[in-house]
Structure 1
Amino acid sequence: MILEVATLDVKTGLEPEFELAFIKAQKIISSMPGYVSHQLQKCIEKQNRYILLVNWQTLEDHTVGFRESPEYQEWRSLLHHFYNPFPEVEHYQSIDKNENTHGVV
């Protein structure tokens, strides 16, 4: 499983509108092939910062299946105008705890 992590800085004052738009947008992402789950969290220290965590079955489910889909265009139109700067998106994978990859016992 792949974890997509996006740091979302919403233009100040638009947070309530963003949250309403996200309610619609989450229906889009949750319907995509390879989607597993997601969370949107709001930062306590910076009121306009959010973090979006999305679990995908594979990296390609996000980078190709979602981002190259017509549904992504709808996602973009709902959300992308709220961001400044544009979000940084990274992908993470779990480390097998049974495998000792760093020589630590």
Structure 2
Amino acid sequence: MDTDAIFKALANPMRRQILQWLKSPEQFLSADECGGFEKGVCAGQIEKLGQLSQSTMSNHLSVLQQAGLVTVQKHGQWSYFSRNEALIQQYLDVLKNTL
């Protein structure tokens, strides 16, 4: 776990918002529109929520992925993102024990 990469990723409010959307996607998106959430949330749906350009949102998702906070599954041309709950919990434990 790279705590510096996680701190950097979480420093941006949009990235924290993305993690919140991924935590409870049913609060923000229609399961029918997304084809359910079993695979995660499609990058295009995250882009619509954020109302950012595709390239900007792609960069935010890439930073989260590099930090290990999200995982991605490719299905054809689509990328589905999910939170990495195990790493998030590990990070919270480190914070609790060190700060």
TM-score range, shorter chain: 0.3 to 0.5
TM-score between the two structures when normalised by the length of structure 1: 0.33
TM-score between the two structures when normalised by the length of structure 2: 0.34
Structure showing greater radius of gyration is 1
More helix, by proportion: 2
More strand, by proportion: 1
Q: Which has the higher contact order (CA 8 A, sep 6+)?
A: 1
